[in-house]
Amino acid sequence: MTTSTAPLSALVLPTPAGPLAVLLTPEDGVVRAAGFAPVADMTARLDARLRTRGVQQVAATGPIADAVARYAAGDLDALAEVPVSQPGGPFTQRAWQVMREIAPGETLTYAELAQAAGSPTAVRAAGSACARNLIAPFVPCHRVLRTGGAMGGYYYGLDVKRALLAHESGLLSAA
């Protein structure tokens, strides 16, 4: 965790699923929160140490804005290059890492996520890791589905989840 007290930088970037709010620590360029909600809502989800730093809206330029623009334009691996960090226990961290390894256009079930994260019986914990993810779509929890392919939940709504999956699968099938 960084010890700076400088305000977090906030970007709002266009995506195929709607505006994406991104909060990052300016001293290291690491994304600390991102999602399809207003900046204030994303800020409220942060832990207190980061939240107390405040937020400063900045121009939508730089490597994160570039990665999101490339993703929107069809470079579906662009978001995997962005450095991220969020608090969570060992299993949750492993689950988030596995989510980052799911190829665009592919999905896992919650059971497959639990297995890949090293705890095959931790299916509910895998679902919890998806629900607690602060860094969507950089940690692509939208690529995790219920057994049988049902959507399951998504913090930003199923329409956003469907839009992300359609963007990824549509571009792959068009290639």
Mean pLDDT throughout 150-170? 93
Task: Report the amino acid identity of residue 139.
Answer: V
Query: Which of 2.70.150.10, 3.40.190.10, 1.10.10.10, 3.40.50.10540 is the CATH number of 90-169?
Result: 1.10.10.10
Mean pLDDT throughout 167-174? 72
Mean predicted lDDT score pLDDT of the chain: 94
Could you tell me the residue ranges of all domains in the chain? 8-73, 90-169
The answer, yes or no, to whether residue 127 has pLDDT greater than 50, is yes
Cβ neighbours of residue 89 closer than 8 Å, sequence gap 6 or more: none
- In angstroms, the CA 90 to CA 149 distance is 27
The answer, yes or no, to whether residue 166 has pLDDT greater than 50, is yes
Q: What is the pLDDT of residue 175?
A: 44
The answer, yes or no, to whether residue 108 has pLDDT greater than 90, is yes
Percent of the chain at pLDDT > 90 equals 88
| Lowest-confidence region among 19-23, 129-133, 151-155, 160-164 | 151-155
More confident residue, 104 or 148: 104
Active site residue 130: no
The answer, yes or no, to whether residue 132 has pLDDT greater than 70, is yes
- Of the residues 136, 141, 144, 163, only one is catalytic, namely 141
Mean pLDDT throughout 48-59? 94
pTM of the model: 0.93
Q: What is the pLDDT of residue 40?
A: 97
Contact 17, 65 (CB under 8 A): no
β-bridge partners, 30: 25
The answer, yes or no, to whether residue 54 has pLDDT greater than 80, is yes
